[in-house]
Amino acid sequence: MKKLFKKIVLFVTVFAMCIGIGASLSACNSSDKTLIGIGLYQDSGPAVTATKAYLDGLKEELNCDFKYVTLSQTDEATNKTRVQELISAGCKGIILTMDLGMSAIIAECEKADVYLAGYLSDYETTLDSIKDNDHFVGTVVDGAYNGTAWGEHIAERVINEGYKNIGMIKFPAFAFPHQIEMDTAFRAKIEEYNATATEKITVQATTTELNFSPLDAAYFSENPNLDAIFAMCAGVDFVYPTMVAQEKTNIKLYTAGFTTSESTLSDFGEGKCIQELVFSNVEAVTYPVVMLLNKINGTEFSDNPAQAERVDSSQIIIENTADLQLVQTKSIYCTGKAEDAFLTASQVKALLAENGGTYAKLVEAVQSMTIEDLEAL
């Protein structure tokens, strides 16, 4: 990815020299940094550490600063208050990881002439009502908006690896509607296999929903003889601990989510319990940062979309111990070091409209951060 941007950075440098670099240097040297508020859905953990490290690495090059608040996953009034705090602190742009309370929040942003963007959230409940609002610049999704591809991928792994009795677990549809697509796609692929298979695969008839609480111990008595579980939810946090407590780690777990816990990761890989882990790159925050700075600076891409968009981000899918070792040593998610990010500050700066960046290049950047891209760094 860093190689991809070398020509872009060279072009931007020549372009700046041609038009006269004096005014640009004046702006960059200004002590008045643009303040952007970041509302995260948690206040600690490796994802928070990595997000802050990445953004800290951008501050000098982009002449901006960041202020953080923690949002509520259930209370709209709290989220409105957090946004008001960011506005009062002087934030010109705000990035939120959820859309709870959005009608009140967007009204506050309009009143204060502050711009809003999303990060690792698909804005499922409110996008249609705000995508034409001049104060909303779009959102980058937690992976792919549609969950079909990953559901099919896990089904293919289960088939190829020979498991025959599969448990199904997900979060509630109101919060994660696209896990329904994962569920449906998985089941369809298994049915296709069963149509010609001598030894058929049995899938749990009704998928168990976890309301953001640990899997109940009774799950295993209610679903006996399982040899694998497809946990579309964050299984390392909500499913695996129960498996350990119930001594069911002989069952293979394919799940979304990630952890830096050494004790949990020691049970990952061939012959172990956990067979797959998935996380979204914190560098996807590049999308809302660039879109906000364009708006705040009064610039626009030549190919800017007519209305705010919902853009997929790429994910790191860890299928084996080699993948895990790569992530542990090279990914900012694990190291917490800005120098391990997919993008450098100068590469992000080159994506700004004022520097000749385009919307197509910005989208390409946040969709080019896979395990293969990490290996190539």
**Is 232 a member of any domain?**
yes
For every residue of 349-365, DSSP letters joined together read HHTSGGGT--HHHHHHH
Q: Would you say residue 366 has pLDDT above 50?
A: yes
Domain that holds residue 47: 3-144+281-313+335-376
Domain check: are 14 and 136 in the same one? Answer: yes
Domain check: are 155 and 125 in the same one? Answer: no
User: Which of 258, 279, 300 is where one domain is finished?
Assistant: 279
Mean pLDDT of all residues in 211-232: 96
Q: How far apart are CA 176 and CA 114, in angstroms?
A: 28
Domain check: are 25 and 110 in the same one? Answer: yes
**Is 237 a member of any domain?**
yes
**Is 318 a member of any domain?**
no
- 166 within 8 A of 203, measured Cβ to Cβ: yes
Count how many domains the chain has.
2
**Is 267 a member of any domain?**
yes
**Is 330 a member of any domain?**
no
**Is 184 a member of any domain?**
yes
- pLDDT (0 to 100) of residue 377: 87
Domain check: are 246 and 341 in the same one? Answer: no
Where is 18: in which H helix or E strand? Answer: helix 6-19
- 37 within 8 A of 94, measured Cβ to Cβ: yes
Q: How far apart are CA 215 and CA 238, in angstroms?
A: 6
Q: How far apart are CA 170 and CA 289, in angstroms?
A: 31
Percentage of the chain beyond pLDDT 70 is 92
What is the band of 19 on the pLDDT scale with cuts at 50, 70, 90? very low
Q: Which CATH number covers residue 9?
A: 3.40.50.2300
Domain check: are 252 and 295 in the same one? Answer: no
Domain check: are 204 and 180 in the same one? Answer: yes
Q: How far apart are CA 336 and CA 334, in angstroms?
A: 6
User: Which of 279, 300, 323 is where one domain is finished?
Assistant: 279
Q: Among candidates 275, 308, 274, which has minimal Cα distance to 291?
A: 308
Domain check: are 12 and 138 in the same one? Answer: yes
Domain check: are 19 and 128 in the same one? Answer: yes
Out of 16-20, 292-296, 363-367, least confident range: 16-20
Give the CA distances from residue 76 to residues 50, 127, 180, 194, 311, in Å, rounded to whole numbers and listed in that order.
26, 16, 25, 46, 24
- pLDDT (0 to 100) of residue 263: 94
Q: Would you say residue 278 has pLDDT above 80?
A: yes
- pTM for the model stands at 0.86
- pLDDT (0 to 100) of residue 125: 87
**Is 359 a member of any domain?**
yes
Domain check: are 135 and 18 in the same one? Answer: yes
Please write the tens of the pLDDT for every residue from 181-218: 999 999 999 999 999 999 999 999 999 999 889 999 99
Domain check: are 172 and 239 in the same one? Answer: yes
Domain check: are 32 and 8 in the same one? Answer: yes
Domain check: are 287 and 245 in the same one? Answer: no
Residue whose structure tokens are 């569920």: 183
Please write the tens of the pLDDT for every residue from 90-130: 999 999 998 889 999 999 999 999 999 999 999 988 999 99
Return the bridge partners of 259, or none. none
**Is 325 a member of any domain?**
no
User: Which of 232, 261, 279 is where one domain is finished?
Assistant: 279
